[in-house]
Structure 1
Amino acid sequence: MQTKEAPFTLRLWTVKEYQKMAELGIFHPEERVELIAGQIVKMSAKGTVHTTTVRRIANVLRDKLQGQVDVHTQDPVQLNDFSEPEPDIAVVKLDPLDYVDHHPTASEVYLIIEVADSSFKYDCETKGKAYAKSGILDYWVLDVNNRKLHVFREPTQEKYQSEVIFSQEAIISPLNFPNLMITIADILPPKQ
Structure 2
Amino acid sequence: MVAVFPQKHLTDIAEWRRMGEAGIFPPDSRMELIEGEILHMAPIGFNHAGHVARLIHALAPLIQARAIINAQNPIQLNELSEPEPDFLLLRPEPNFYTTRHPSAADVLLLVEVSDSTLRFDRTQKLRLYANHNIPEYWIVNLIDNCLEVCRQPQDGDYLQKIVLGKSDSLNLVALPEVRIEVAAIL
Fold-level similarity (TM above 0.5):
yes
TM-score, normalisation: structure 1:
0.91
Q: Residue in 1 aligned with 2:146?
A: 148
Specify the code of the residue in structure 1 equivalent to 2:175. F
Specify the code of the residue in structure 2 equivalent to 1:87. P
2:108 pairs with 1:92? no
Identity %: 32
Q: Residue in 2 aligned with 1:161?
A: 159
TM-score, normalisation: structure 2:
0.94
Distance in 1, Cα, partners of 2:66 & 2:156:
31
The answer to whether the 8 Å contact 1:134/1:157 transfers is no
- Alignment length, in residue pairs? 186
CA drift of 1:93 comes to 1.1
Distance in 1, Cα, partners of 2:96 & 2:179:
27
Specify the code of the residue in structure 1 equivalent to 2:108. Y
Distance in 1, Cα, partners of 2:59 & 2:13:
29
Distance in 2, Cα, partners of 1:79 & 1:135:
10
Distance in 1, Cα, partners of 2:77 & 2:123:
16
Structure 1 stretches of at least 4 aligned residues deviating more than 3 Å after TM superposition: 3-9
- Unmatched tracts of structure 1, length 5 or more: none
- Once the two structures are superposed, the pairs formed by residues 1-192 of structure 1 within 5 Å of their partners are 5=3, 9-188=7-186
- Unmatched tracts of structure 2, length 5 or more: none
The answer to whether the 8 Å contact 1:116/1:141 transfers is yes
Distance in 1, Cα, partners of 2:102 & 2:142:
27
Distance in 1, Cα, partners of 2:18 & 2:67:
29
Specify the code of the residue in structure 2 equivalent to 1:160. Y
CA drift of 1:147 comes to 1.3
Distance in 1, Cα, partners of 2:4 & 2:131:
29
